Structure 1
């Protein structure tokens, strides 16, 4: 006793709806990655490559049962080929992300070395599924006919060839998923051990005040700071005081009063979106305050690992119900479960949707920066010079040459004792 026609139509409506949601999310993902450079991070790049598999698989899902009316027709064979090849590419891209995590944590790979592996990942993640997909397209026997045929909801490996689905489809998928899970398990052990070591070091440092020697696992970020000190000439003015008719321009210096030790100036030269700064407390010389206690891993490693783990979780959500449904169908071929088929119809086409969610959820700061730049286009661009004391703050001038854009910014602090500069390029 199989599914009724009403149940089959319900399943087709569900999978077409979820496939439409995934197509929309995938197209937005691809568009932002191509046209907005900020989204081209290391983790987003692999999601971008996997999104093409999601797109073609969802196209096959949108065809639905329309191809079942002629099993030997080109549409049925085309839909079967797309499902066989691109549905299993997504878990393999998830495994590729897990391999990257392993290389980062245990082999100390940096971004340039990881980027050289993209070509190999593409060959494996799209090349391996291509082999069974093209084989099933041309192989047939006189008794069973072609391998691609009626799979209840759509054209895929025919029900007469149902055991082949396990070997050519679900087995490679679960091998990739298990490899990814093993890697994340090893990474979790590494993170736990290093966190324990760092906590012990921090506790020892707090008790003895001895310097902390970080293990090689800890990531670092270096910022070049150049501080120069020279004698200050009294009553020296490099330019007349600003007036309403002569606003300050870029790199102009503000006169320093000879009698005010608390008087200072801040000059900001920016070629990107303007930023608002508050006056800093007056101090004899600039200094940097480091955060207390070391971090277990740097932010870049953790961001990439978090993205890869979320990708793996989405793969589990997608393939556990679908695999259970197929195993149940092999065990009870004459009485398929309508509930399990609903679960498969919901989760299988949603691979693209989950990838889009992970893509934007792990790029919230990028989204905020892009939105801020979009809003800043409606406002005059330029730089701001702030001048004041501890109690006052006055905006003196704003200006910018059009046609020049740069993401670098320089903040220059000065007082009557010393001058320093801090430059950070993104």
Structure 2
């Protein structure tokens, strides 16, 4: 009969390894969030709503990092010590706040994409009240829960002071449940936002292409004013000959494009020069002669341009939110796996404990990586303007650069006074395009 092995817990050397990982990760996160605060405070252009969310989440990372740096010092001081209780409070409130802020950012991104809020503003105090207030209420309440048999809620765990194993159900329902509700909610909102952004983007592209084809089909037709003495059905386009236009009224504005026609007949020498050049292109600005398609097209292009201006901003929101959600997911998966194994009566391998101790304290480092990854173009421009530094350009198109390019293209597309004409070859090509209705 085989006797199952009984786990006696980590050895002292293993506990030292876990303590070292916690303190290294907590210190790295604390330094990272301090760099975020300094950058956000010094560079005004970095103070956009996306970065503001990260800054507020980084405030929670300060408390979580301090709790990780304390590590097992709280255990050594005793469960009833102020240090152990303070560490328990910090870990409970601020370790899960990142997940709350992730859901808040996802929800705000959903409101921005759906057009229900301005992408340049958000109610940061309302989000702070929810994302900080929710964990604070439960964390503060746990101070006053006591059972004569199980003792207080806050006390010793394996790696630090938090909710004791005797109160594992409270740990589950006041921490893990809320964290996973926020993670799943963030993933759902990000999926909806991503689908909406790319669906509208494809619709705009398709509509823009159809508008371009419609504009070609609705080109002003050439007016062929043939005289009764015309002897050829195939005029030869010659842009060098002069042309006589019909009299125009005050509401008539001739176009600068004029096409002449040389008619080859046996009686050519008997005709006057006026009858030899009878093919002209004339554009009238009167309401009876000008189709309304150009006006509709210009208005539609304006709508498309506005969609294009908002598209880079929305994609930047989605990318930042998605990265934030993934960082929270990576942080909480190892701890959740260990919690499930403990609740099902299994033992948690030391390797799982190592992964959890290495990942949990790094929330501030992830936030710094997201902050600088999404703001690198702004920081690069500031470095060039203030210090004249040359920074390697990114291979990806930045949202601000793309937006400026779209603005320029929008102005070019919407300019009604453009008078540049095509070459003779282009005129020949346009003249061969069949006109609808003919």
TM-score with structure 2 setting the length:
0.64
Asked if 1 retains the 8 angstrom alpha-carbon contact of 2:197 and 2:315, the reply is no
Q: Secondary structure at the match of 1:71?
A: coil
Tell me the residue number matched to 1:94.
Answer: 102
Give the distance between the partners of 1:4 and 1:329, measured in 2 at CA. 19
Give the distance between the partners of 2:320 and 2:367, measured in 1 at CA. 10
More strand by share: 1
Asked if 1 retains the 8 angstrom alpha-carbon contact of 2:106 and 2:189, the reply is yes
Tell me the residue number matched to 1:324.
Answer: 337
1:296 shift after superposition: 8.8
Asked if 2 retains the 8 angstrom alpha-carbon contact of 1:91 and 1:176, the reply is yes
The CA RMSD measured in Å over matched residues stands at 2.3
1:16 shift after superposition: 1.1
1:376 shift after superposition: 4.3
Give the distance between the partners of 1:53 and 1:191, measured in 2 at CA. 31
1:309 shift after superposition: 1.2
Asked if 2 retains the 8 angstrom alpha-carbon contact of 1:16 and 1:62, the reply is yes
Asked if 2 retains the 8 angstrom alpha-carbon contact of 1:3 and 1:336, the reply is no
Q: Secondary structure at the match of 1:122?
A: helix
Tell me the residue number matched to 1:59.
Answer: 66
By relative contact order (CA 8 Å, sep 6+), the higher-ranking structure is 1
Give the distance between the partners of 1:188 and 1:155, measured in 2 at CA. 40
Q: Does 1:344 align with 2:356?
A: yes
Which of 194, 211, 220 aligns to 2:200? It is 194
Give the distance between the partners of 2:345 and 2:310, measured in 1 at CA. 49
The 10-residue stretch of structure 1 (191-200 or 175-184) with the greater mean CA deviation from structure 2: 191-200
The 10-residue stretch of structure 1 (298-307 or 19-28) with the greater mean CA deviation from structure 2: 298-307
Q: Does 1:365 align with 2:377?
A: yes
Asked if 1 retains the 8 angstrom alpha-carbon contact of 2:197 and 2:314, the reply is no
| Matched residues, number | 296
Which of 13, 25, 46 aligns to 1:6? It is 13
How has the CA–CA distance of structure 1 residues 47 and 210 changed in structure 2, closer, same or farther, with 3 Å as cutoff? farther
1:6-405 map, 5 Å: 6-69=13-76, 70-111=78-119, 114-115=121-122, 117-209=123-215, 295=308, 297-332=310-345, 335-376=347-388
1:36 shift after superposition: 2.2
More helix by share: 2
Larger Rg: 2
Q: Secondary structure at the match of 1:109?
A: coil
1:312 shift after superposition: 0.9
Unaligned runs of 5+ in 1: 212-289, 378-426
How has the CA–CA distance of structure 1 residues 154 and 210 changed in structure 2, closer, same or farther, with 3 Å as cutoff? farther
Unaligned runs of 5+ in 2: 1-6, 218-301, 390-438
TM-score with structure 1 setting the length:
0.66
Q: Deviations over 1:176-196 (max 9, x none)?
A: 111111111111221232133
Asked if 2 retains the 8 angstrom alpha-carbon contact of 1:80 and 1:157, the reply is yes
How has the CA–CA distance of structure 1 residues 192 and 369 changed in structure 2, closer, same or farther, with 3 Å as cutoff? closer
